[in-house]
C-alpha cells in the first residue's frame, strides 16, 4: 500500500518530482502527449517529463473555444519554465499547434514541434514519421550537445519497454473477472511513470506488490477519453459502485500497451511502435480505435463504457458518435460526460455516473 500512497501524492503534486529532477541536476525536457517518443529524449541523456493540466484551468493567452486542457498546459509551461531545459509539442490537434505558436513567442528554451501523421495507415505515414523522429533526434543533439547513437537508443528502448511490461502486468491483474487493482491507484502509477526517472520507477514497482484491491461485485467499466490527470474522474466511478477495469486514455493504456519491437534500426522500430500503437482520438483510421475499444471491453469483461470529454475537445467528441454506435451494436451501453474542471463540477458528474452504473446494475 505504501507505493500507492506515494503515487497518489505524486499525482496531486507532480511539480515536487520536477523540482527533484532539478535538484539532482537532471536536464528536463517537457512534453504533453503520449505520442512523443520518450526513448529519444532518454537516449540523449535527458529526463522526459509529461506536463499536465494540474493546478490550472484557463489561460488569458488562448481563446475560449480552445479546450481547457491545452490552456492549462500552456499556463503550467509558462509558470514552470525555469525548471525545464526544453519543450516538445506534438501536432496532435489544432489547439496544440496554437499552443506551440504561443510558446514560440513566450519561452526562451529550445522548442520542437513534432508533426505526427493523422492518417497512420497512409503509404507515406511511416517515412514521414521516421523523418520527424530523426528531426527530433537532431534537435536534441544540436541543442544539448550530445550524440544519440543506436546503442543509446537501444538501451532507452529496453528501459521503456521494461516500464511498459511492469505497467501492463499490473493492468492485466484485473482480467478474467478479477478485481485486483483499483484504477485510482493504477492511474496514479501510470502518471508517476511519466514523471519519474524510468530507472527509479521500475525499481520501485519491482519492489512492491499489487493485487489486493477491493471492489468485488462492482460494475466493471471501461473509460474512454484523452488525458486524465484529475483522478476525481476515476474515484467518482469507484465511489458510485463502479470498477474501472480497462481504458483507452493517453494517461492509461495508450501510454504503455505496445512495446517497441527489437530491431537493428532503433529509429524505425520506434516509428513502427508509435505509428501502430493503441489508436489516439486525434488520428485515423477510426476503425482501428473502434476495434481496440471493443477488444478491451470484451477481454476485461467491461459491462459499460464511460467517455470523458473535455469541453471543446473535437477529436473525442467526433469519435464518440461512432464509438457509441459501435458499442451499441456490441450490446455495450455507453455514457458521455463532458467536463471543464472536474473538482469544481464533481456533483454534476457524479449525478450522471451514478445513474449510469445504477442502470447497468438493474
Partner 1 sequence: MYLGIDTGASATKAVIVDRRGEIASQAIVPSGVNFKVSSEMAAKKALDAVRLDLEDMLYVVSTGYGKALVNSTSKSSEIACISRGVYRLIPSARTIIDVGGQDSKAIRISKDGKVLNFVMNDKCAAGTGRFLEIMSNTLQRPIEELSMLHFKAKKPVKMSSTCTVFAESEVVSQMSQGIKIEDVIAGLHEAIAERIYTMASRIGFEQDVAFTGGVSKNKGFVDALRKKICLSPVLPEEPQIVCAFGAALLAMKKHKEKP
| Residue number with CB closer to partner 1 (343 or 359) | 359
Q: How far is the CB of 326 from partner 1 (least distance, A)?
A: 15
| Residue number with CB closer to partner 1 (264 or 347) | 347
344 interacts with partner 1 by CB under 8 A: no
Q: How far is the CB of 304 from partner 1 (least distance, A)?
A: 11
To the nearest 10°, report the CA torsion of 100, 104, 109, 111: 40
Distance of CA 335 to the CA centre of its chain: 21
362 interacts with partner 1 by CB under 8 A: yes
| Residue number with CB closer to partner 1 (258 or 340) | 340
Applying the rule CB under 8 A, the residues between 285 and 314 that interact with partner 1 are 311
To the nearest 10°, report the CA torsion of 49, 101, 93, 117: -90
Within a 13 Å sphere around the CA of 180, how many CA atoms are in the beta-carbon half?
A: 15
Cα radius of gyration (the chain): 19
Q: Give the number of other Cβ atoms within 10 Å of residue 314's Cβ.
A: 15
Answer yes or no: are the C-beta atoms of 161 and 260 closer than 8 Å.
yes
Answer yes or no: are the C-beta atoms of 108 and 84 closer than 8 Å.
no
To the nearest 10°, report the CA torsion of 262, 193, 209, 162: 10
From 166-174, 177-185, 280-288, 350-358, give the range in contact with partner 1 by CB under 8 A: 350-358
From 37-45, 125-133, 221-229, 352-360, give the range in contact with partner 1 by CB under 8 A: 352-360
Applying the rule CB under 8 A, the residues between 227 and 266 that interact with partner 1 are none
Q: How far is the CB of 200 from partner 1 (least distance, A)?
A: 39
Give the number of residues in contact with partner 1, rule: CB under 8 A: 16
Applying the rule CB under 8 A, the residues between 313 and 342 that interact with partner 1 are 333, 338-340
Instruction: Supply 293's cell numbers.
Output: 475499444
Applying the rule CB under 8 A, the residues between 150 and 209 that interact with partner 1 are none
| Residue number with CB closer to partner 1 (195 or 312) | 312
What are the residue ranges of helices labelled H in the chain?
2-12, 15-23, 38-43, 68-80, 94-106, 125-143, 150-171, 183-193, 198-206, 232-239, 253-256, 266-276, 286-299, 314-329, 346-361
Q: Please say whether the dihedral angle defined by the alpha carbons of residues 151, 41, 249 and 104, taken in this order, is positive or negative.
A: negative
Nearest of 168, 230, 248, 238 to residue 205 by alpha carbon: 168
| Residue number with CB closer to partner 1 (177 or 359) | 359
149 interacts with partner 1 by CB under 8 A: no
| Residue number with CB closer to partner 1 (37 or 225) | 225
**Candidate list 6, 118, 121, 352; residue touching partner 1; CB under 8 A:** 352
345 interacts with partner 1 by CB under 8 A: yes
To the nearest 10°, report the CA torsion of 294, 341, 4, 31: 80
Q: How far is the CB of 293 from partner 1 (least distance, A)?
A: 19
Q: How far is the CB of 310 from partner 1 (least distance, A)?
A: 11
Residues of this chain that bind partner 1 (CB under 8 A)? 311, 333, 338-340, 345, 347-348, 351-352, 354-356, 358-359, 362
Amino acid at each position: 500500500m505504501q507505493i500507492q500512497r506515494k503515487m497518489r501524492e505524486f499525482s496531486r503534486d507532480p511539480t515536487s518530482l520536477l523540482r527533484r529532477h532539478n535538484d539532482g541536476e537532471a536536464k528536463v525536457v517537457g512534453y504533453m502527449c503520449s505520442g512523443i517518443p520518450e526513448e529519444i529524449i532518454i537516449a540523449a541523456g535527458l529526463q522526459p517529463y509529461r506536463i499536465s493540466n494540474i493546478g490550472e484551468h484557463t489561460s488569458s493567452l488562448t481563446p475560449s473555444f480552445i479546450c481547457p486542457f491545452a490552456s492549462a498546459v500552456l499556463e503550467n509551461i509558462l509558470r514552470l519554465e525555469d525548471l525545464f531545459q526544453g519543450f516538445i509539442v506534438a501536432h496532435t490537434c489544432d489547439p496544440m499547434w496554437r499552443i506551440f505558436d504561443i510558446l514560440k513567442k513566450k519561452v526562451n528554451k529550445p522548442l520542437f514541434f513534432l508533426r505526427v501523421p493523422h492518417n497512420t495507415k497512409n503509404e507515406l505515414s511511416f517515412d514521414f514519421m521516421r523523418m520527424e523522429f530523426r528531426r527530433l533526434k537532431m534537435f536534441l543533439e544540436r541543442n544539448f550537445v550530445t550524440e544519440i547513437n543506436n546503442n543509446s537508443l537501444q538501451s532507452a528502448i529496453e528501459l521503456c519497454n521494461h516500464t511498459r511490461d511492469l505497467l501492463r502486468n499490473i493492468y492485466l491483474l484485473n482480467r478474467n473477472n478479477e478485481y485486483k487493482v483499483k484504477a485510482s491507484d493504477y492511474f496514479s502509477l501510470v502518471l508517476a511513470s511519466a514523471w519519474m526517472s524510468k530507472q527509479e520507477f521500475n525499481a520501485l514497482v519491482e519492489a512492491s506488490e499489487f493485487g489486493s484491491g477491493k471492489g468485488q461485485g462492482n460494475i466493471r467499466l471501461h473509460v474512454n477519453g484523452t488525458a486524465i490527470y484529475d483522478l476525481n474522474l476515476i474515484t467518482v466511478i469507484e465511489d458510485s459502485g463502479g470498477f474501472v477495469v480497462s481504458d483507452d486514455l493517453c494517461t492509461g493504456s495508450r501510454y504503455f500497451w505496445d512495446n517497441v519491437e527489437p530491431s537493428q534500426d532503433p529509429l524505425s522500430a520506434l516509428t513502427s511502435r508509435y505509428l501502430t500503437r493503441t489508436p489516439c482520438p486525434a488520428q485515423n483510421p477510426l476503425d482501428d480505435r473502434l476495434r481496440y475499444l471493443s477488444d478491451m471491453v470484451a477481454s476485461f469483461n467491461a459491462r459499460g463504457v464511460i467517455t470523458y470529454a473535455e469541453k471543446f475537445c473535437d477529436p473525442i467528441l467526433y469519435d464518440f458518435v461512432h464509438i457509441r454506435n459501435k458499442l451499441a451494436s456490441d450490446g455495450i451501453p455507453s455514457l458521455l460526460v463532458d467536463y471543464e474542471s472536474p473538482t469544481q463540477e464533481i456533483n454534476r458528474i457524479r449525478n450522471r455516473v451514478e445513474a449510469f452504473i445504477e442502470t447497468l446494475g438493474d
